[in-house]
Amino acid sequence: MTSSVNYSEYLPAVAPDVVLVRWGHGEWQIKNVSERLAQWLSTDVDHARGRTPAALFPRAIPSITSLVTEVVDRGQDLTGVKLRLVPDESEFLADIQFAGLTEDYLGQLVRISLRWESIASRQEIGFRNMVGTSPAMHEVFRKIRLYATSDAAVIITGETGAGKELVAQALHEESPRHERPFAALNCAAISELLLESELFGHERGAFTGAVREHRGYFERADGGTLFLDEIGDMPFHTQTKLLRVLEDGRVQRVGGEKSYQVDVRFIGATNVPLEQAVAEKKFRADLYHRLAVLRIHLPPLRERPEDISLLADLFLQQFNARYNKGIKRLTSEAIRLLQSYFWPGNIRELKNVIERVVVESETEAIGARAFTEWIHERQQFAVGGNQSNSVEMQKKPPVAIPYSPTNNHFSSTSSAPQQIPGKKAELSEDDIRQAYRQANGNLSAAARQLGIHRATFYRHLQHLNLHRDDLL
């Protein structure tokens, strides 16, 4: 069927770097790639054709498929999207254009043109109160700007400590509601009865201790934005009441008969996969569909190591001012050490450890040695002195999954003052194949078996001229 289409009439005078085609509701497939891109990927054009974007670009940030789907669904081209096709490699700026085929073919065509990121495009290192130059964070910034003008509900996903409330605040500050209230409440921090009172308010005498009427967060956020963190932990009964408010915009206080009209833009955040919670009957399916209109995923810190130095410098300045210190920088060795860590607590954990070394240091530059005691504590925390606890940790992400056989949280590229036992300096093709097969093709799991970071695993593949498809 595809051979009957004359694609040349749909392509621009200068051929794009990637052409994708989809027939009906099938998967997107690579129709063509440019010679320069094939050369950069160490592949050939014929090998790329017919593959899915996920197969050709398995480590792309953001996902090629998600970008293409957004272009088609919204009917708008994307320009200047920061895109990284291979970890630890250069970034591109991508222009993505939709070119629908004739109705006779029931197909869709998308073309992607790539250009090297210019120096000028690197100037944005932050957005609102967030810091990051990685493609993953620029995708978050882009979505915030895109979604801020809408009143549709937004779900922010991400691990604990990744900064989900900062994303919610940025959405509010960029929106037409920015002069109205922003109210934030953590659903996991209070009991069910108190949660309903805090959300919807209560009347005097509604329960023991209710000595006066109380305006809930919905009323306090009227005209503005309400942010509910850890919404996946909300009790089922409260979910029913929340759904009712979101559907008709009216709030009835606990113990009251009168309802109040409110105008609130709703943002929820969760570190629990809501789809899984729905399948387990812990989260209402109708509430999920009501909330999951727009979604922003905040990547964990370990997936954007290039942002760690920026964040560390920001926290260094903050704690210098707080504790009247004159520390000027972290050494490159210290930065490499921080970049090798798994960061189960994400940005919150990074901020805490920077505060610690600032308080403890008396020098102008903080080196890797300043983190020695912290490293030892993290290693002990991973092992936990209890093997059953260590096994349980591996079953329940986002708690750190150890990188090495010694159950520490550092990758094999760590600049820690002491050598990590069990570290492999060189990996053979057989080592990689065996780990990859034992992990059933899961690259992250294979890297953990070998005691290395995923990016390091990928570099070994390139060094040995191996492709993931050749390992199984």
CATH of the domain at 383: 1.10.8.60
Residue 428: both structure tokens together: 């053979």
Asked if residue 236 and residue 95 are part of one domain, the reply reads: no
Asked if residue 444 and residue 350 are part of one domain, the reply reads: no
Last residue of a domain, one of 297, 326, 343: 297
Asked if residue 450 and residue 335 are part of one domain, the reply reads: no
Asked if residue 21 and residue 88 are part of one domain, the reply reads: yes
Q: Answer yes or no: is 462 within a domain.
A: yes
- Closest-CA residue to 115 (of 227, 37, 199, 221): 37
- Closest-CA residue to 368 (of 413, 414, 406): 414
Last residue of a domain, one of 118, 142, 176: 118
Tell me which DSSP letter residue 8 carries. Answer: G
Q: What integer pLDDT is reported at residue 3 of this predicted model?
A: 36
Asked if residue 292 and residue 150 are part of one domain, the reply reads: yes
Residues 6+ apart with CB under 8 A from 52: 27, 28, 29, 30, 65
Which CATH number covers residue 37? Answer: 3.30.450.20
Q: Answer yes or no: is 228 within a domain.
A: yes
Q: Which amino acid is at 241?
A: K
Q: Answer yes or no: is 436 within a domain.
A: yes
CA distances to 23, 27, 68, 97, 111 from 77, rounded to whole Å, are 20, 20, 9, 5, 10
Burial (CB < 10 A; 0-12, 13-18, 19+), residue 154, is buried
Asked if residue 443 and residue 354 are part of one domain, the reply reads: no
Q: What pTM does this model have?
A: 0.65
CA distances to 136, 146, 174, 315 from 142, rounded to whole Å, are 10, 6, 12, 24
Which CATH number covers residue 445? Answer: 1.10.10
Asked if residue 435 and residue 330 are part of one domain, the reply reads: no
Asked if residue 25 and residue 93 are part of one domain, the reply reads: yes
Q: Answer yes or no: is 124 within a domain.
A: no
Q: Answer yes or no: is 125 within a domain.
A: no
Whole-number Å distance between alpha carbons of 297 and 156: 6
Last residue of a domain, one of 244, 272, 297: 297
Handedness of CA 371, 372, 373, 376 (dihedral sign): positive
User: Which position has the token pair 């967060």?
Assistant: 217
Which pairs from 316-324 meet CB under 8 Å and 24+ separation?
316/354, 316/358, 316/366, 319/354, 319/355, 319/358, 319/359, 320/358, 323/358, 323/359
CB-side neighbour CA atoms (13 Å) of 10: 20
Q: What integer pLDDT is reported at residue 253 of this predicted model?
A: 86
Q: Answer yes or no: is 112 within a domain.
A: yes
Q: What integer pLDDT is reported at residue 76 of this predicted model?
A: 76
Q: Answer yes or no: is 102 within a domain.
A: yes
435-458: pLDDT as tens digits: 877 777 777 777 767 767 666 777
Q: Answer yes or no: is 123 within a domain.
A: no
Q: Which amino acid is at 100?
A: G
Asked if residue 243 and residue 136 are part of one domain, the reply reads: yes
Q: What integer pLDDT is reported at residue 378 of this predicted model?
A: 82
CA distances to 5, 25, 67, 336, 345 from 108, rounded to whole Å, are 12, 10, 14, 45, 42
Asked if residue 442 and residue 390 are part of one domain, the reply reads: no
- Helix (H) / strand (E) element for 241: namely helix 236-248
Crossing angle for the helix pair 135-148 and 164-174, to the nearest 10 degrees:
40
Asked if residue 311 and residue 270 are part of one domain, the reply reads: no
- Helix (H) / strand (E) element for 461: namely helix 454-463
Q: What integer pLDDT is reported at residue 101 of this predicted model?
A: 56
- Helix (H) / strand (E) element for 200: namely helix 192-200
Q: What integer pLDDT is reported at residue 128 of this predicted model?
A: 82
Which CATH number covers residue 143? Answer: 3.40.50.300
Q: What is the pLDDT along the chain (472 residues), one digit of tens a residue?
A: 333 333 333 333 357 889 998 887 788 999 999 888 888 888 888 888 999 998 998 888 888 888 888 888 777 788 778 788 876 666 777 888 887 654 445 678 888 888 765 444 444 577 888 888 888 899 999 999 999 999 999 999 999 999 999 999 999 999 999 999 999 999 988 887 789 888 998 787 667 777 688 888 999 999 999 999 999 999 998 999 999 999 999 998 888 888 889 999 999 999 988 998 899 999 999 999 999 889 999 999 998 998 998 899 899 989 999 999 989 888 888 998 999 898 999 999 999 999 999 999 988 889 889 998 998 888 776 655 443 333 333 333 333 333 333 334 555 444 333 333 333 345 778 778 878 777 777 777 777 677 676 667 777 777 777 776 667 6
Asked if residue 168 and residue 64 are part of one domain, the reply reads: no
Q: Are 368 and 334 in contact, with CB atoms under 8 Å apart?
A: yes
Q: Are 147 and 294 in contact, with CB atoms under 8 Å apart?
A: yes
Tell me which DSSP letter residue 266 carries. Answer: E
Instruction: Give residue 186's domain range.
Output: 130-297
Tell me which DSSP letter residue 22 carries. Answer: E
> Per the structure, how many domains does the chain have?
4
